[in-house]
Amino acid sequence: MSAEQRENLDAILRQSAFPADSDVNEQRRQLRKLLSAQPLPADVTVTAAALSGVPTAEITVNGIDPRHVVLYFHGGVYVLGDAFLAADLASQIGRRTRAKVISVDYRLAPEHPYPAAVDDALAAYEALLRNGTAPSDIAFAGESAGGGLAIATLVNARDHGLPLPAAAFVMSPYVDLTLAGATMDTKREADPLLSPQALQARVADYTSGQDATLGLISPIFADLSGLPPLIIQAGTNEVLLDDALRLAREAATADVEVTLDITPRVPHVFQAYHAILDEAAAALDRAGQLLSAHLASAERVTA
CB burial string 72-103: b at 16+ within 10 A, e below: bbbbbbbbbbbbbbbbbbbbbbbbbbebbbbb
Confidence of residue 37 (pLDDT cuts 50, 70, 90): low
What's the pLDDT score for residue 128?
98
Catalytic residue among 238, 279, 292, 294: 238
Q: Using CA atoms, how far apart are residues 115 and 93, in angstroms rounded to an integer?
A: 27
Are the C-beta atoms of residues 300 and 285 closer than 8 Å to each other?
A: no
Q: Among 91, 136, 144, 172, which one carries the catalytic annotation?
A: 144
- Contact by Cβ (8 Å): 95, 40: no
Q: Confirm whether 299 is a catalytic residue.
A: no
Using 50, 70 and 90 to split pLDDT, how confident is the model at 28? Answer: confident
What distance in Å separates the CA atoms of residue 8 and residue 13, rounded to the nearest whole number? 9
Per the CB < 8 A criterion, the answer to whether 160 and 121 are in contact is no
* Residue 26 among the catalytic residues: no
* Closest by Cα among 73, 101, 92, 100 to 219: 73
Predicted confidence (pLDDT) at residue 1 exceeds the cutoff of 60: no
Give residue 300's pLDDT band: very low, low, confident or very high (50, 70, 90).
confident
Q: Using one digit for the tens of pLDDT, what is the confidence trace for 143-178?
A: 999 999 999 999 999 999 999 999 999 999 999 999
pTM of the model: 0.96
- Tell me the pairing of strands 99-104 and 167-171: unpaired
Rounded to 5°, the CA angle 199-171-173 comes to 40
Q: What percent of the chain has pLDDT over 70?
A: 98
Give which of 77, 112, 29, 22 is closest to 199, Cα–Cα. 77
Q: Which of 268, 274, 279, 294 is catalytic?
A: 268
The model's confidence at residue 303, banded by pLDDT at 50, 70 and 90, is low
> Bridge-partner residues for 231, per DSSP?
169, 259
Euclidean distance between CA atoms 128 and 162, whole angstroms: 12
- Would you kindly state where each structural domain of the chain is located, as residue ranges? 3-302
2 is catalytic: no
Query: 3.40.50.12170, 3.20.20.70, 1.10.10.10, 3.40.50.1820: which CATH number matches 3-302?
Result: 3.40.50.1820
